[in-house]
Amino acid sequence: MVFEGIAKYVGGKVVTAACVVASAGAIIWFWRHPESAQAIWHIIKYSLAWIAFAAALPWASFAVLPSIMKLESNIAGLALLALLTVLDVVMALWLCGWDVNGALSWAVLLLGFIAAGAYNFVICESLARWLEA
């Protein structure tokens, strides 16, 4: 029990020191390289634009969802989800300027595409349940 308290105390101090050093390093880096700060703001701006697009897109399917539900076909629902996800992918690639470099960039984009597809499914499913009630 005593060792647990000591470990938490020391661990907290180590984490705090690491955060302070990393913050100071980031401030110094961006002070010496202002073009890096501009690039980060550019990335943040486009990322937020894509997140807003991806968040609003499945809600726009509210108008066509009743006709898809009348078909009573899983293929029609799958086609809607595929269309929404393809639109998310195209928008992200368009915001990237159709040029993605590096494995990390592709990994982040693929993770975003998977998250957008899952979000599309959850929202469309909840809208369908709401329309059935």
Quote the pLDDT of residue 44. Answer: 82
Per-residue pLDDT, averaged over 31-44, amounts to: 75
Task: Give me the mean pLDDT over the 17-39 stretch.
Answer: 77
pLDDT at 1: 63
Residue 60 has pLDDT above 80, yes or no: yes
Question: How many other C-beta atoms can be found within 10 angstroms of the C-beta atom of residue 92?
Answer: 21
Measured CA to CA, the distance from residue 88 to residue 94 in angstroms comes to 10
**Arithmetic mean of pLDDT, 70-93:** 86
pLDDT confidence of residue 132: 78
Q: Pick from 62, 109, 69, 106: which is nearest to 89 by CA?
A: 109
Identify the pLDDT of residue 58: 85
Read off the pTM.
0.66
Q: Where are the domains of the chain?
A: 1-32, 39-132
Higher-scoring residue by pLDDT: 60, 43: 60
In contact, 46 and 108? CB cutoff 8 Å: no
How many of the other CB atoms lie within 10 Å of CB of 109?
A: 16
